[in-house]
């Protein structure tokens, strides 16, 4: 489409001095064509060059992002991907990886008003083991638990006891009032329009259909002021905010975790 | 600018072909914007319908199905729940309140729902709003009815009016409970939810209607009058579903599991928010398909426009030579053709928006009646403006193809008159 | 080789071929038109009349030589300058299909004013606006009958269309009017009348008129007759090839 239709000025001067005309255009079969191209046609050439440059820079960006993606399995992907395909991206990922390692190491030492990234294990008091209830119940019963049919009274009794244990699991009181950042899956409870305003944060997908449900200290009740548009139930999120372990006023069993979210972002 | 004026006059001159092209673009834009609007408003309608309820329990079916019939009055239950099971679960620890509901009858196309007074206390929508009475109050007598705002308005009911409930949920029913008329005891304020389209009666009233029925038909030879029914024990034997509120959100999973594993009867407990999200996820597949189709329609419309302009090029070579002779540059010729495409796209977009709003005006009441969807007649959302801008931009861009051809032709032709 | 400094048109050592490597269509050593002069270029079809007029209009360029209009060498100008120059100083009349079908008569006549500020100003100088000037010119060309202005231009007769074209060429008083077979589609009577009108208007405006036709009888009304086959060396010496 951009084929030249005639010799350029340069070529014409060449002609006047007696050289050979260069091969020209395949255009429509009109016999009439301008013998001299106007220099204005260079904008087309410029556009072609610009397009090539753009393609080249896109290729660079793609290559850089691939490098970043490969080199940042440590979870610093988010910050690294923000810098587009150049050596800066690679350097940035290295710096971010180092930074997150430092954060993990110094997590116990952060000041109270700094956001601390936590993992789900931290929500369970160390040494608490719901299965211990089972062991206590079984006592010296050597029978193989797996061999028991689900409907046998013994199995039901054990299971109900386990359920009780996890239904009112203890919380880690030291977390109360801390600003934390925790990833998890969303179980929507209430909407603001089509966006989520209240939800339960759980460590694995499908907590509402899995048997058994997570223990109550592995569920966080999250409320947020700015509602969040959840793309799908499968999408995990990072929730940042102040976590509380206050007891419920009704006094029925232990409290659970609640979190007032300030930031919710995709994982 | 002179060229734009020329473009406009040129399009005007070819009114018929231009008009058809315009129509194609207008239809495609109306379709694209319409899909977006329905998508947005549907979600909006659905989302604000129920708040504050931790679990909804019904006979075991599908989660979305249970949500749809219990909250949105769309579809039907597969089975009922025994009163016994309901009472047992209502007594579970951590259950703070329950509201039973019974569905299955209708009144002139509106669903009739039997429920307890707790419904008016515990039902919430749009996060914090609760039900309020415009006139009257909650049930007092067995045969009292509370109407949703739209029922009262459309059927012209006022306090004290009586109404007959029909059996079944169709628009027309051949079996009515005409021996047990209900009295309008209260009318609710508009909520923008399916509550507006429901006739609420007490559970006792619901039971009373069917006290001399068996297996869905009146027992022949047995007629129990309304007065007699009042004296009987009107505790229902079955209900369709019930709403549950717990004392702690954390307890939701545990109670849900207990209900799902309840041995006496096959039950299903859903978390409304989760079921709603599952509904969205399901709908989004259909939405994306619709979007793709609409985009294809837009492309088709633009291609039509392109064809029209391209095919007129040959005939306009003389015109281009005339323009060149009065001093137009080849770039002017390019701009002329591109502007024609742009003008067509712009006018088409405007016509499309008008078309959409006309369709909305006409179709809005029908959609609300048939599907319970509220499609407000609002200004286009920001996302809509982007869509319009994108289509107009695409029109201009598409116009560059014939424009470029015209540019080269005018360069080739110069001033020659090709006859 | 001496150029009259006030020449409206001055062509020197021009060689032109449509396509590179093809035989020259035009090879003219010298050709000039003075200000206000009326020149008739005569030649049979295919003798290169249209090519010459195209060169003078600046739409095409020769492969060598210079073409001076009012002292400015078109060959040295970039094409956009040539287009502007043509708008400012040259008016064209073609054999037929002169008019833009979707514009009114007045709009057609004022077209050059939209592409040349100079013409617009000069058009407005006498009667206030280009539109008023257009009506004046149309009236002078006998086109002010009632109801004519409302007609779409495609409804006009050929004679009427040619006169509208003439008005368009004349509006804003360009220094040079170029007409390529303007009367070939008209009948005998209309031909003479058209030429008379055109000449009168050119005289009034002080413009040079360059008219090309194959019909030698038209040449009587002109100051000078030029035979293109004689002027054009390419025609008389067909063996001359491109260098």
Q: What is the CATH number of the domain that holds C82?
A: 3.40.50.300
- Check whether B358 has a pLDDT greater than 90: yes
Where exactly are the structural domains of chain B?
2-46+284-413, 55-270
User: For residue C1, is it within any domain?
Assistant: no
> B37-51, B223-237, B321-335: which has the highest mean pLDDT?
B321-335
pLDDT, position A39: 39
Task: Report, as an integer, the average pLDDT of B107-119.
Answer: 88
Are the Cβ atoms of A32 and C21 closer than 8 angstroms? no
pTM, full prediction? 0.66
Q: Which residue has the tokens 């007609």?
A: C151
Task: Report, as an integer, the average pLDDT of B69-93.
Answer: 89
> A102-111, B68-77, B340-349: which has the highest mean pLDDT?
B340-349
For CA atoms B277, B279, B285, B290, give the dihedral sign.
Answer: negative
Cβ pair A49, C34 in contact under 8 A: no
Phi then psi for residue B108, to 5 deg, are 50, 45
Q: What is the pLDDT of residues B304-324, one digit of tens each?
A: 888 888 888 888 888 888 898
Q: Which residues of A touch B257 (CB under 8 A)?
A: 163, 211-213
Confidence class for position A105, pLDDT limits 50, 70, 90 = very low
A contact test, residue of B253, B260, B313 with most A CBs within 10 A: B253
Higher pLDDT, A202 or B366: A202
Check residue C221 and report its DSSP letter.
G
Tell me the domains of chain A and their CATH numbers: 42-105 (no CATH), 129-167 (no CATH), 173-266 (2.40.50.870)
Cβ pair C169, C116 in contact under 8 A: no
pLDDT, position A196: 87
Among B362-366, C149-153, C191-195, the minimum mean pLDDT is found in: C149-153
Confidence class for position C47, pLDDT limits 50, 70, 90 = confident
How confident is the prediction for chain C on average, in pLDDT?
Answer: 85
pLDDT, position C178: 92
| Chain C residue set in contact with B, beta carbons under 8 Å | 50, 53-54, 57, 59-60, 79-80, 83-84, 86-88, 92, 94-103, 107, 111-112, 114-116, 168, 180
pLDDT, position B142: 87
Task: Report, as an integer, the average pLDDT of C119-139.
Answer: 88
Q: Which residues of A touch B411 (CB under 8 A)?
A: 5, 33-34
User: For residue C241, is it within any domain?
Assistant: no
pLDDT, position A217: 84
Q: Which residues of C touch A36 (CB under 8 A)?
A: 61, 63
Whether B401 has its CB under 8 Å from any CB of chain A: the answer is no
> A97-101, A128-132, B63-67: which has the highest mean pLDDT?
B63-67
Are the Cβ atoms of B412 and A32 closer than 8 angstroms? yes
Are the Cβ atoms of B271 and A233 closer than 8 angstroms? no
Tokens of B29: 């834009």
> A155-159, A207-211, B46-50, B108-112: which has the highest mean pLDDT?
B108-112
Among A227-241, B206-220, B341-355, the minimum mean pLDDT is found in: B206-220
A contact test, residue of B129, B249, B381, B401 with most A CBs within 10 A: B249
Check residue C99 and report its DSSP letter.
S
Are the Cβ atoms of A32 and C60 closer than 8 angstroms? yes
- Distance of alpha carbon B40 from its chain centroid, rounded? 9
Phi then psi for residue B222, to 5 deg, are -110, 115
Cβ pair A167, A152 in contact under 8 A: no
pLDDT, position C151: 74
For the CA atoms of C16, C19, C20, C22, the dihedral, rounded to the nearest 10 degrees, stands at: -80
pLDDT, position C150: 72
Q: What is the pLDDT of residues A2-49, one digit of tens each?
A: 334 344 444 334 334 333 333 333 333 333 333 333 334 456 655 555
Of C20, C78, C243, the CB nearest to A35: C20
pLDDT, position A28: 34
For residue C90, the distance in angstroms to the closest alpha carbon of chain B comes to: 8
Task: Report, as an integer, the average pLDDT of C134-156.
Answer: 82
How confident is the prediction for chain B on average, in pLDDT?
Answer: 86
- Check whether C23 has a pLDDT greater than 50: yes
What value of ipTM does the predicted structure carry? 0.87
pLDDT, position B116: 92
Are the Cβ atoms of C20 and A7 closer than 8 angstroms? yes
Whether A246 has its CB under 8 Å from any CB of chain B: the answer is no
Task: Report, as an integer, the average pLDDT of C86-109.
Answer: 89
Size of interface B-C (CB pairs under 8 A): 74
pLDDT, position B178: 76
pLDDT, position B145: 92
User: For residue C242, is it within any domain?
Assistant: no
- Domain that residue C40 falls in: 9-236
User: For residue C76, is it within any domain?
Assistant: yes
Q: Which residues of C touch B326 (CB under 8 A)?
A: 87, 92, 111-112, 114-115, 168
Confidence class for position B266, pLDDT limits 50, 70, 90 = very high
Q: What is the pLDDT of residues B23-32, one digit of tens each?
A: 989 998 999 8
Among A155-169, B66-80, C209-223, the minimum mean pLDDT is found in: A155-169
B contact test, residue of C26, C54, C98, C101 with most B CBs within 10 A: C101
A contact test, residue of C20, C67, C84 with most A CBs within 10 A: C20
Tell me how many domains chain C contains: 1
Point out which residues pair with B218 in neighbouring strands: B213
Q: Which chains touch C (3 or more CB pairs under 8 A)?
A: A, B
- Check whether B200 has a pLDDT greater than 80: yes
pLDDT, position A225: 84
């Amino acid at each position: 489409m951009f084929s030249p239709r005639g010799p350029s000025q340069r070529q014409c001067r060449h002609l006047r001095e007696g050289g050979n005309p260069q091969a020209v255009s395949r255009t429509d079969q009109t016999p009439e064509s301008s013998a001299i191209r106007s220099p204005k046609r260079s904008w087309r050439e410029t556009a072609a060059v610009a397009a090539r440059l753009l393609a080249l820079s896109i290729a660079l960006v793609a290559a850089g992002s691939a490098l970043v993606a490969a080199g940042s399995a440590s979870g610093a992907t988010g910050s690294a991907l923000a810098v587009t395909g150049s050596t800066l991206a690679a350097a940035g990922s290295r710096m971010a990886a180092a930074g997150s390692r430092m954060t993990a190491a110094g997590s116990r030492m952060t000041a109270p008003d700094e956001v601390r990234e936590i993992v789900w294990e931290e929500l369970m008091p160390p040494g608490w083991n719901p299965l211990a209830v089972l062991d206590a119940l079984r006592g010296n019963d050597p029978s193989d638990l797996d061999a028991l049919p689900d409907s046998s009274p013994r199995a039901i009794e054990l299971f109900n006891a386990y359920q009780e244990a996890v239904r009112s699991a203890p919380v880690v009181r030291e977390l109360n009032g801390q600003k934390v950042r925790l990833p998890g899956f969303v179980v929507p409870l209430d909407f603001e329009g089509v966006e989520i305003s209240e939800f339960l944060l759980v460590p694995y997908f499908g907590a509402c259909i899995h048997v058994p449900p997570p223990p109550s200290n592995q569920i966080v009740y999250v409320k947020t002021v700015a509602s969040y548009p959840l793309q799908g139930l499968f999408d995990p999120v990072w929730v940042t905010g102040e976590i509380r372990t206050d007891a419920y006023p009704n006094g029925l069993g232990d409290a659970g975790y609640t979190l007032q979210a300030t930031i919710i972002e995709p994982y | 600018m002179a060229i734009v004026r020329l473009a406009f006059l040129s399009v005007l001159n070819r009114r018929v072909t231009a008009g058809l092209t315009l129509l194609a673009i207008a239809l495609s834009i109306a379709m694209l914007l319409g899909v977006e609007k329905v998508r947005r408003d549907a979600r909006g309608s659905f989302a604000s319908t129920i708040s504050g309820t931790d679990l909804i329990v019904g006979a075991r079916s599908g989660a979305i199905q249970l949500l749809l019939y219990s909250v949105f009055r769309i579809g039907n239950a597969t089975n009922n729940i025994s009163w016994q099971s309901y009472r047992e679960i209502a007594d579970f620890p951590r259950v703070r309140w329950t509201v039973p509901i019974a569905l299955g009858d209708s009144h002139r196309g509106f669903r009739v729902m039997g429920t307890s007074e707790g419904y008016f206390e515990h039902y919430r929508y749009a996060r914090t709003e609760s039900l309020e009475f415009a006139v009257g109050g909650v049930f007092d007598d067995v045969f009292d009815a509370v109407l949703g705002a739209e029922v009262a308005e459309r059927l012209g009911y006022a306090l004290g009016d009586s109404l007959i409930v029909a059996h079944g949920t169709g628009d027309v029913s051949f079996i009515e409970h005409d021996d047990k008329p209900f009295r309008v005891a209260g009318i609710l304020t508009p909520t923008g939810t399916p509550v507006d389209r429901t006739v609420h009666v007490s559970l006792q009233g619901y039971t009373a209607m069917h006290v001399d029925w068996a297996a869905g038909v009146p027992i022949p030879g047995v007629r129990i009058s309304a007065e007699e029914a009042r004296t009987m024990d009107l505790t229902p034997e079955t209900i369709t579903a019930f709403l549950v509120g717990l004392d702690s959100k954390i307890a939701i999973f545990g109670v849900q599991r207990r209900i799902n594993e309840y041995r006496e009867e096959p039950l299903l407990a859903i978390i409304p928010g989760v079921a709603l999200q599952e509904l969205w996820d399901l709908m989004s597949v259909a939405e994306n398909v619709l979007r793709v189709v609409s985009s294809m329609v837009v492309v088709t419309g633009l291609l039509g426009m392109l064809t029209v302009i391209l095919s007129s090029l040959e005939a306009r070579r003389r015109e281009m030579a005339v323009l060149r002779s009065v001093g137009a540059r080849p770039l002017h010729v390019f701009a002329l053709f591109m502007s024609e495409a742009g003008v067509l796209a712009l006018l088409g977009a405007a016509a499309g928006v008008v078309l959409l709003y006309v369709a909305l005006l006409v179709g809005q009441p029908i959609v609300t009646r048939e599907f319970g969807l509220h499609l407000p007649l609002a200004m286009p959302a920001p996302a809509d403006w982007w869509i319009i801008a994108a289509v107009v931009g695409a029109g201009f861009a598409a116009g560059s193809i014939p424009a470029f051809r015209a540019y080269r032709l005018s360069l080739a032709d110069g001033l020659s008159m090709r006859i | 080789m001496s150029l009259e400094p006030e020449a409206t048109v001055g062509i020197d050592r021009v060689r032109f071929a449509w396509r590179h490597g093809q035989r020259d269509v035009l090879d003219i050593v010298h050709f000039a038109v003075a200000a206000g002069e009326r020149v008739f270029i005569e030649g049979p079809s295919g003798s290169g009349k249209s090519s010459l007029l195209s060169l003078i209009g600046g739409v095409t360029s020769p492969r060598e030589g210079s073409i001076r209009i009012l002292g400015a060498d078109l060959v040295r100008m970039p094409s956009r300058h040539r287009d502007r120059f043509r708008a400012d100083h040259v008016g064209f009349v073609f054999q037929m299909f002169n008019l833009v079908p979707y514009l009114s008569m007045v709009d057609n006549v004022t077209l050059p004013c939209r592409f040349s500020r100079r013409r617009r100003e000069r058009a407005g100088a006498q009667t206030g606006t280009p539109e008023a000037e257009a009506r004046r010119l149309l009236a002078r060309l006998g086109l002010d009958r009632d109801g004519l202005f409302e007609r779409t231009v495609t409804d006009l007769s050929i004679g009427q269309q040619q006169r509208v074209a003439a008005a368009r060429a004349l509006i804003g008083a360009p220094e040079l009017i170029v007409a390529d077979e303007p009367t070939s589609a008209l009948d005998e009577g209309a031909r003479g009348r058209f030429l008379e009108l055109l000449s009168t208007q050119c005289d009034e405006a002080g413009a040079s008129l360059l008219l090309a036709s194959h019909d030698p009888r038209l040449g009587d009304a002109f100051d000078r007759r030029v035979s293109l086959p004689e002027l054009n060396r390419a025609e008389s010496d067909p063996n001359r090839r491109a260098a």
